[in-house]
Structure 1
Amino acid sequence: MNRARLRAALGAVVLVSTALVAPVVGTAPAVATTSSTLPACQKITAETTNDRLVNGKFAVEVSPDFLQITETQPMWGSKGYDSWSTGTWFRNDPTGRYQSNTDRTYLALHCNGDLALRRSNGYLLWHSNTANRGVVRAQISQWGNLLLLNASGSVVWQSGTLATGMAAGAILPSGGKLVSRWGDHQGTPVQTLTMQPDGNLVHRSGTTVKWQSNTRVAGSVAGMSSTARLFVRSPQGTILWASPCAAGTSYSVAWLHPEEVSITDWGNGIKSGWSSAYGC
């Protein structure tokens, strides 16, 4: 079973800036769905079998009037395999006018190097503004970052996204971070959970520190236990901090919400565990 938890209904997000209308640049044929790369002059299209780019746990998915990056984390336990999914970044019609359930919206990397989300009639919903900058391909990386690359492989534009959650058994290394940019273009601050090299695990909303573990052993790592506890562990193996709530199951994930980090356990129904904002 796969319990998808996408953090916003496609028709529920309404933005306030102004959409653009522009002609379609070049002809964009479909690209195979199994690819992680979209070459210049090609596209992926909603409501078809060619509607996404995939690389491991991450996918760029186009649906009617909506583009998103999704993350899927596998979960294992006594009940076998399960998975958890969420969105990490999205773009849609900034006016809120277009919220179709059927339009064959497409994401095209135009021949001029501009990545554009367009309705089936060519109406521009969003674009990367990278025309004539040498972009030859779009790619979703194994870390969940959508990249526009030139012929030498240098990054011209990026979404700046990474994983937004840790399933049971996962480790966040020293210097590593979780990132959620869901709603960033609407003014929602970017959420990060960083395992700092100094050993402090810190949640920030934008640049504001919202929570920290107050641990200070350099080189420490963070992780999720098989009992649904987030922890910080020193290089010597000492647990310096652990979320204090009751133990749960291995079908659990610690993930970034707007303004908080929280643990959700799907082992016996859906149960909320520790939250950086509300505790147990």
Structure 2
Amino acid sequence: MSRIRSRVAAAALTTLVSLASALTLTTSPAAAAGTSLPACNKITAHTTNDRLVNGNYSLIVTSDMLQIEEREWMNGPNGPDYWTTHTWFRDDPTGRYQSNTDKTYLALYCNGDLALRRANGYLLWHSNTANRGIVKATISQWGNLLLQNASGGVVWQSGTSRIGIPSGAILTSGSKLINRFGDQQGRPVQTLTMQADGNLVHRSGSTVKWQTNTRVPGSVAGLSPTARLFVRSPSGQLLWVSPCRAGTTYSTLWLGNEDLTTTDWSGGKITHIWSNLYGC
């Protein structure tokens, strides 16, 4: 499963930011292969050190952008398989700079600023976090990009998390799916929250788009093998279930840029089963 991003074109060129104040950077294979990037290091597109990885989540630098990729395992027609999607990205906000070959790099400078630059130093994006005590960038176990100080405190974060679950997975009370893929372009953040009061709620920004109106505290949500989203009470009572079902057991639930969707994957294709906004 892939997500296609649109770019906003503009006539103005992004200002070339001077590198005179940047301190020496090194490429650390050990850092790039793990979950964290220490200060004074970088990862670079089109090299073996182009990403940070933590379980199902990867922070990846390509020729013109930085993105977080999510991988979710599921039961496929031929055994265990997975689908991938992207939950967040940053690039040149003018949409003017695009490339397939440049060795763009992501640097965590010694002063704590995280910056995405073309190979020639042209600034595409940065976190604007210089001189705040940041010592490392980390991709968390749930796909959140964190900039942390020496004591482990979070100074800056992307605010991202998983956007999908396979059949058999559970959203526990208080947990949520978060889709920030379009936030750089001004799209509202999409969330699906299994609230502590037992209500499963989809929001676009702060606006409630849909809810199950279930009200048993401590309830959980999950996806059945036949692609039916459900809410279940702590005692096991089924409180709500989506109306449509798949004919196989290769199902997934994912939160898109607009709606919540259940899908079936069989016969080499992905089939729409149900949308919380548009039905079956």
In the other structure, the counterpart of 1:271 is 271
- Give me the whole-angstrom Cα distance separating, in 1, the residues matched to 2:68 and 2:124: 16
- Offset of 1:253 from its aligned partner? 1.4
Q: Does 1:28 align with 2:25?
A: yes
- Offset of 1:81 from its aligned partner? 1.4
- Offset of 1:239 from its aligned partner? 1.2
CA contact (8 A) 2:77 2:250 kept: no
Amino acid paired to 1:232: V
Structural mapping, 1:98-117, within 5 Å: 98-117=97-116
CA contact (8 A) 1:67 1:91 kept: yes
Stretch moving more, 261-270 or 150-159: 261-270
Residues 1:18 and 1:196: Cα distance change in structure 2 (over 3 Å): farther
- Offset of 1:77 from its aligned partner? 4.6
In the other structure, the counterpart of 1:160 is 159
Aligned CA-pair RMSD? 1.5
Q: What SS class does the counterpart of residue 266 from structure 1 fall into?
A: strand
Structural mapping, 1:86-101, within 5 Å: 86-101=85-100
Structural mapping, 1:1-280, within 5 Å: 5-8=1-4, 12-14=6-8, 19-24=14-19, 25-32=22-29, 33-77=32-76, 79-268=78-267, 269-280=269-280
CA contact (8 A) 2:73 2:80 kept: yes
1:70-123, Cα deviation, whole Å (9 max, x unpaired): 110001255211101111100011111111010100000011100000000000
CA contact (8 A) 1:19 1:126 kept: no
- Give me the whole-angstrom Cα distance separating, in 2, the residues matched to 1:240 and 1:20: 55
Amino acid paired to 2:277: A
- Give me the whole-angstrom Cα distance separating, in 1, the residues matched to 2:209 and 2:191: 10
- Give me the whole-angstrom Cα distance separating, in 2, the residues matched to 1:82 and 1:115: 34
CA contact (8 A) 2:51 2:58 kept: yes
- Give me the whole-angstrom Cα distance separating, in 2, the residues matched to 1:19 and 1:265: 43
1:190-233, Cα deviation, whole Å (9 max, x unpaired): 00000011111000000011111111111100011111111111
TM-score by length of 2: 0.94
Stretch moving more, 18-27 or 53-62: 18-27
- Offset of 1:247 from its aligned partner? 2.7
- Give me the whole-angstrom Cα distance separating, in 2, the residues matched to 1:274 and 1:110: 46
- Give me the whole-angstrom Cα distance separating, in 1, the residues matched to 2:247 and 2:88: 29
- Offset of 1:18 from its aligned partner? 7.0
Aligned residue-pair number? 274
Amino acid paired to 1:222: A
- Offset of 1:242 from its aligned partner? 1.1
Q: What SS class does the counterpart of residue 210 from structure 1 fall into?
A: strand
CA contact (8 A) 2:9 2:96 kept: no
1:25-67, Cα deviation, whole Å (9 max, x unpaired): 1222223242100000101111111110000011100101110
Amino acid paired to 1:273: I
Q: What SS class does the counterpart of residue 162 from structure 2 fall into?
A: coil
| Structure 2 unaligned regions, length at least 5 | none
- Give me the whole-angstrom Cα distance separating, in 1, the residues matched to 2:7 and 2:250: 29
Q: What SS class does the counterpart of residue 185 from structure 1 fall into?
A: helix
- Give me the whole-angstrom Cα distance separating, in 1, the residues matched to 2:203 and 2:4: 21
Stretch moving more, 31-40 or 41-50: 31-40
